[in-house]
Amino acid sequence: MPTRPSTTRTARIDARRGARLLAAGLGALLLAVAPSLAQPIEDRIDELIEAQRLEDLTLGVAAVDVSSGTTLCDYERASRKADPSPDGLMIPASNMKLLTSGAALLTLGPDHEFTTRFSVIDSRLVITGAGDPALADPDLLDEMDLDVEGFIDWLADAIERAEPGEITEVIADDRVFDRQYVHPDWETRHLHRPYGAEVCGLNFHRNVLRIYADRGRDASELPTVRSLPGADWIELVNRTRTGKRGGVPSVWGAREDATSHRFIVEGVVTGAQSFEVTAHEGSLILARLLADELRERGVGATSISARLARENEAIDLTGVEPVAVVRTPLQVVLDRCNKESENLYAESLLKLIGNRVTQQPGSWRNGPAVLRIHVRDRLGPEMVTSVIARDGSGLSRSNRVSAKLLAEWLTSIGREPDLRDPYVQSLPAPGEGTLRTRFRDRESEREVRAKSGYLNGVRTLSGYLVDRDTGRLIAFSILVNDIPTRISGTKVKDLHEKLVDMIEDAAFDDAGTPVEDGMTLGG
């Protein structure tokens, strides 16, 4: 990605404009150049980078006026030290979710609901997954003053009321997705963290366990640990020790191996605290917990087994009314995907669009293919080369995009009210979600709605400036790669905010009036 020669580019733009004016044979020309555009934004960015001593960064900045399609900024600058990307594209981190969530809106429609069905047929309780990442999400349960045990009780109550007769087996039908639960690009060190949770066609409890640790009464007493969900087949190996009350906690845990339900919990417990660790096959965990509960209630057989549906197993539920249904509106999923940057939500959306279009189990092959089809159809075939989609969340470092592509994508969706409203709503404003501590001191008539992204050496921010009075949108994308360790994350975030201010200046004059193309032609 070569450094932009700003003076040459400005001259080239001026020459092209002059040629167009002469060729048109126009009778009148009204220049309307706003004061904020007296100096091209690209030149101002160059000056900012040099003043802040940020030449070691790779930077891409793009901004588009959504209503007019006017490009306000298209800037690229390579790090002076890092090797340039061979394709000229950049790692988007969680800004990848903007492509994924937009493609989901286009494929599924804004009124889509994820519907998980619980049906009884031939003494079997069949749970039919719909790829819903929100099913028993512990954070959403917290908002309902409910925990996972209460959720299982609710399901068992519904099943019991239906008087299903003898139930001998609980089958988790997760075949809406394939069973590649973990993306091959994801680093092993991430796979025990909540953001590296497995992705299932029947997700449950965000495919994590919440582990609660409580300090012993004195230093000689072992702390207690428990998990939600809990069961006698979920084993916690307690290797914690009691620390000084009120001290800094340092408790962690992980599965003993990739497919185990045995968890090792270690560290110093200084009070009551909790953390989350990823679990294996959330689909099967749900089936086993429900089988346990039904067995305890005496619903059906004294021995109820639980398993996943076999690959080619025929389960015909035609005409069978479910005994329980759990529905999640798409908007809830979009909000969790973008506001809270939940990776499981993004990956579930990506796999689901693959399933919907191909009618095959959703995967990390057909999902990205559908995303690229939407890019081609909305932005043109030439823009497909500006996106390499490996996963839906941005956790893979092999994803590549350009700032221009993201700004054009945001513009495309922002032009359609049926898509724009749920999409913009899903993006955090300052003070919420991943912008909880960002743009605190911003005073403007324009609101920032944007998705942040972070990986080692990568900081990104893309979204909209929204005029509160007119609803006018400015789409922008700021991608920063190759961040050296000497440059703090705080300094890069400050750069983001300064660039957003520059984009706002380029889009509006001092009176708050939209800046047009820079000249009006007529006569």
Domain ranges of the chain: 1-90+403-509, 113-329
pLDDT digits over 191-245, tens only? Answer: 999 999 999 999 999 999 999 999 877 777 899 999 999 999 999 999 999 988 8
pLDDT digits over 61-120, tens only? Answer: 999 999 999 999 999 999 988 887 777 899 999 999 999 999 999 999 999 999 999 999
Q: How many CB atoms lie within 10 A of CB 110?
A: 17
The yes-or-no verdict on residue 291 having pLDDT over 70 is yes
122: CB partners within 8 A, 6+ apart = none
The answer to whether 236 touches 225, Cβ cutoff 8 Å, is: yes
* pTM of this structure: 0.89
CA 250 to CA 236: how far, in whole Å? 17
The yes-or-no verdict on residue 29 having pLDDT over 50 is no
Q: How many CB atoms lie within 10 A of CB 11?
A: 11
Say which range, 20-29, 295-304, 430-439, 469-478, has the weakest mean pLDDT. 20-29
CA 112 to CA 116: how far, in whole Å? 13
Residue 28: which pLDDT band, with cuts at 50, 70 and 90? very low
CA 92 to CA 13: how far, in whole Å? 29
Region at 478 (left for phi over 0; alpha for psi -120 to 50; beta for the rest)? beta
Choose between 314 and 301: higher pLDDT. Answer: 314
Can you give the pLDDT at residue 515? 52
In whole angstroms, how far apart are CA 158 and each of 126, 134, 290, 321?
14, 20, 12, 13
CA 366 to CA 120: how far, in whole Å? 32
Closest by Cα among 279, 364, 333 to 116: 333
The yes-or-no verdict on residue 26 having pLDDT over 90 is no
CATH 1.10.3470, applies to 1-90+403-509: no
191: CB partners within 8 A, 6+ apart = 182, 258, 278
CA 127 to CA 202: how far, in whole Å? 8
CA 3 to CA 76: how far, in whole Å? 7
Phi/psi of residue 95, nearest 5 degrees = -65, -15
CA 473 to CA 508: how far, in whole Å? 11
CA 486 to CA 484: how far, in whole Å? 5
Joined together, the tokens standing for residue 22 give: 């002469």
Phi/psi of residue 509, nearest 5 degrees = -85, -175
Cα dihedral angle (43, 49, 55, 61), rounded to 10 degrees? -70
Joined together, the tokens standing for residue 128 give: 């039919």
The yes-or-no verdict on residue 127 having pLDDT over 60 is yes
CA 99 to CA 384: how far, in whole Å? 12
Can you give the pLDDT at residue 514? 57
Q: What is the 3-state secondary structure (H, E, C) of 318-380?
A: CCCCCCEEEEEEHHHHHHHHHCCCCHHHHHHHHHHHHHHHHCCCECCCHHHHHHHHHHHHHHC
The yes-or-no verdict on residue 275 having pLDDT over 80 is yes
3-class DSSP state of 272: coil
